[in-house]
Structure 1
Amino acid sequence: MLAKLTFILAAGVVGAACVSAAYAAQPTNVSSQAGTEYVGALEAQARAQWREDISHIATPAEGCFHATYPSVVWERTACKAAIPRVMPTPRWRNFGAAQNAGNGNDYTLHSSTLITKAVGSFPTVTGVTSESGVGVAAYGGGGILGANEYSLQINSSFDDTTSACKSHSGCTVWQQYVYAPDYEVDGEAAVFMQYWLIGYGGSSCPSGFGSDGAGDCYKNSAAATAPDVPATQLANVKLTGTVSSGGNDTVVFTNGTQAYSSSGKDSVLYLATVWKVAEWNVVGNAGGSMAKFNSGSSITAKLAVTNGSTSAPSCVANSGSTGESNNLNLGSCSTGSGSTPYIQFTESN
């Protein structure tokens, strides 16, 4: 996806889950779960717990995998090359309009210890009846535009350097965990990681990386194929990003009873050695675009991390790294401690 104005878009336990009677119970009081399906309260709770569990189970190898509720076994699936429909754009150096979230005007979670996992969710979503991706003039109106065109992003900062920069002066690394509808073809969403070497400079990028023409290099991991999920169902989705020094980094997208993941080597950027800042939001789908929600929308965003600490992290304003945005206004940010420290904020219009 876009870097603060750049864009491209830019867990292993193996065994079957046992389903208790509570999982199968269907009380007469029913509530809406996902789409047009209605399930009982206990079943909805069981599915939510499964989505939490599967996001913490490591995939057995590098590549793409899929799991279906109630199983906690990752099954290998074919990967696709995540070739973006929208090419990178030059980084813009100014923050976006202060009233809109994204493009720098974001909250980020700051940890004093290294992050190994970040989980993004939307605990409360109210009033969302429609969303559309729209172009932003500063980026030439680019992006994947139209109804239900948005992306979910967990992003690192681009203030850290690792050996992936190969001693290039001023070079920093930036890694994105992404779910993007219609990213390569219409009707299919891509779940992948995007890797950046910001300010790499020079006349050529490392093997396998492309150039954005502004001194930055980027490439995508292999992508797992997932369904397009309408923005009205954001309360039912979750995105997880993990790192493993000397192992694989993984992105996991869950929705309802399905989970999709893609894993790639941490040695692409060595993010595991420096990851202490994370950003999470729903924003435009590539090219610096904006996710425009209907008036009256309110979305609560929560980003929880595993970082070897139980202390509450810091929530820092105006510190996001993505160039995409939405048309919502940021409220205040709160933090929480415990086994998975978190930040949480509501954005609305």
Structure 2
Amino acid sequence: MLDATTQAQRPANAPADHPRIRMGKVGVLLANLGTPDDYSYWPMRRYLNEFLSDQRVIDYPAWKWQPLLQLIILTKRPFSSGAAYKSIWNHDKGESPLMTITKDQTAKMTEALKEKFGDQVLVDFCMRYGNPSTKSKVRQMVEAGCDRILFFPLYPHYAGATSATANDQFFRALMEETWQPASRTVPAYFDHPTYIEALAQSVERAYGGFRTRPDILVCSYHGMPERYLQQGDPYHCQCIKTTRLLRERLGWNESEITSTFQSRFGPEEWLKPYTVDHVAELAKEGKKNVAVIAPAFSADCIETLEEINEEIRESFEEAGGEEFAYIPCLNDDAAHIQALSTVVEENLKGWLSPL
């Protein structure tokens, strides 16, 4: 988390009445999608309203979409989404699992980057939707003396509805700064060797603990409308490449692993095959033992803990499947932290060098 111990000083040769300022630090701001503050109706409604009003997420014209969203969707969906969040909520800490995991990732990234760069780097996190907001964390970093900020969306794969909207919000925050820090954004790392290695290790660890080897590993990625792919979004291609690189690292043949897409929303055709349907088809084809992993998520959240481990599992079992195993996201696993810190180090070149 942020450490504002940098002493405020007057710039060299400045008059005595010049305000003291902090400078010289580099901020690393990790960003994830976001989470409601609570699973009750109004916190859920506020969160869903911010999320579903983002034109990067739902790109329909506002005059058409907003009446539907405000009058119909947001009167009902907070109840169903709230129930889903309640089923996975970290009741001990009063927060969602995504919040808990992101805090743990930030703490471990702070340790890892301190080993590399000493006290030159300040690490914190923000959420695109909900709290803590991107704007508030940029302000805190500037106040703490960060004159350079590396903004790191924790999405291995680039998509307009994830990486781009997170970057958009970062740039909006910079617009409100009188003295803007120099800034960089971290690109997608879907094919980075350390990320693929961390994924492979998680699969090998999980498979080592299974009584029976799964018939197939399903790599379930978050979906998007097919239209976005046709418009030039690279997400689909990056997902397919991740699966291929993972298969090659594991030394498997193509029949042992597949790519699917989940979380379909609305009436449009989305990227296929749909995970919820495909696992049922696998069961009917005689593949009674499957494992599912979610490579596009850096932390377990509602889409993995509830959708995969409950809804998609149920679809598989109702179709005759017998053994369904969900392999958790990389979360704060040591290999994942090493991968993320390596990506940060590469993107800090020219600003900082390791000690």
TM-score by length of 2: 0.27
Higher strand content, 1 or 2:
1
Higher relative contact order (CA 8 A, sep 6+): 1
Higher Rg of the two aligned structures = 2
